[in-house]
Amino acid sequence: MKIIPAIDIIDGKCVRLTQGDYAQKKIYNEDPLEVAKGFEDAGIENLHLVDLDGAKAKQIINYKVLERIASNTNLKIDFGGGLKSDKDLNIAFESGANQITGGTVAVKNPELFLSWLEKYGSEKIILGADVKNEKIAINGWQEESGIELIDFLKKYTAAGIEYVICTDISKDGLLQGTALDLYEKIKTHFPKLKLIASGGIVGMEELEELQQLEVHGAIIGKAIYEGKIDIHVAAGFSSQ
The DSSP bridge pattern shows strands 2-10 and 217-220 to be parallel
Query: How high is the pLDDT of residue 191?
Result: 96
Q: Could you tell me the residue ranges of all domains in the chain?
A: 2-238
Record the pTM: 0.93
Q: What is the CATH number of domain 2-238?
A: 3.20.20.70
* Mean pLDDT in residue range 180-191: 96
Q: What is the pLDDT of residues 47-74, one digit of tens each?
A: 999 999 998 899 999 999 999 999 999 9
> What is 117-143 written as a DSSP string?
HHHH-TTTEEEEEEEETTEEEETTTTE
pLDDT tier, 175 (very low <50, low <70, confident <90, very high otherwise): low
Any idea which of 17-31, 64-78, 104-118 has the lowest mean pLDDT?
17-31
Confidence check: pLDDT of 104 > 90: no
Task: Please give the positions annotated as active site.
Answer: 8, 130
Condensed to tens digits (0 to 9), the pLDDT of residues 188-216 reads 999 999 999 998 898 899 999 999 999 99
The continuous run of DSSP H or E covering 156 comes out as helix 149-158
Give the residue, 177 or 117, on which the prediction is more confident. 117
The distance in angstroms from the start CA to the end CA of the chain is: 8
CA 27/CA 16 separation, integer angstroms: 7
Indicate whether 32 pLDDT > 60. Answer: yes
